[in-house]
Amino acid sequence: MTDYVAMPMTFTDGTRHACTWATARPGGFRAADLAALGDLLPALAMATEIRLSRRIARNLLDAYVGRHAGARILAGEIRRGSGATVRAAIWQCDLRDFTTIVERLPRDEVIACLNAFFDTVGAPVEAQGGEILKFIGDGMLAIFPLEEEAACHRALRAAVDARRGLASLDPEGRWSAGPLRFALALHVGDVMYGNIGTSARLDFTVIGPAVNVAARLQQLAKDLDRDVLISGPFAGMCACDAAFLEPLGRFPLRGVPEPVEVFALTGEP
């Protein structure tokens, strides 16, 4: 290159950025060339700001609501009540003994504990194609849409990896929170996937009877002192993993009309 120039580029919010140009022409840029580049700057600044703002919005939505929900919101699906019914495997879990952890540890350690827990259980969900919808205190709600191949098997694989990850999180016992345990429920059914909330504040989530069953199963896991409970309908879609499921019987669940057949995950498919 024979010449290089950097020009200021101002966005509509007043922030100043730089745009750089280079040429290999003998003698470098001429005065007319620099004037032409200067004339381009307002349009270039506008186009750059639009693309940058969209990238920032996409990254923020991915971080706060998840990649799939973020894409739908960015595409304009922001009307309250809008959504679709999808069939999905539902993952609902929380951290066991969290009340004790909050009472016993300083605030910063509680936050570190929660982050370590969510890292450990969330990474397998995403690795297996699941979508984390929200964190509720010490709990996490995720779905595996059945349009993906072997979604239930993927959810089960994620459960195994999450359980293994928690067991190896602090093998030497140096962490004051002690070993972390979770209660996880896996169910399958139709859910309404869309915008719920007030006229001014929306949440992109899933609702429906199947979600209620998953929530009740998660509580049952605590009552039975089991880490992973699986509903009969979910187990029926994981025939290849049946050897690792222990039948526990049928249990009445609060708000659910009929008792639900329940299995425990005992091995590693």
Tens-digit pLDDT profile for residues 52-88: 988 888 887 777 766 777 676 776 666 776 778 889 9
Whether this prediction's pTM lies above 0.85 is answered by no
- pLDDT tens for 203-239 read 778 889 999 999 999 999 999 999 999 999 999 988 7
Select from 183, 163, 166, 184 the least CA-distant residue to 175.
166
Q: How many domains does the chain have?
A: 2
What are the phi and psi torsion angles at 56 (to 5°)? -60, -45
If asked whether residues 44 and 169 sit together in one domain, one would say no
Residues 162 and 210 occupy one common structural domain: yes
CATH of the domain at 124: 3.30.70.1230
What is the residue-averaged pLDDT of the chain?
88
Residue with the bigger pLDDT between 261 and 80: it is 261
| Domain encompassing residue 37 | 3-65
150 and 256 both lie in a single domain: yes
At residue 148 the predicted structure's pLDDT band, cuts being 50, 70 and 90, is: confident
Task: Please state, in angstroms and rounded to a whole number, the distance separating the CA atoms of residues 87 and 166.
Answer: 29
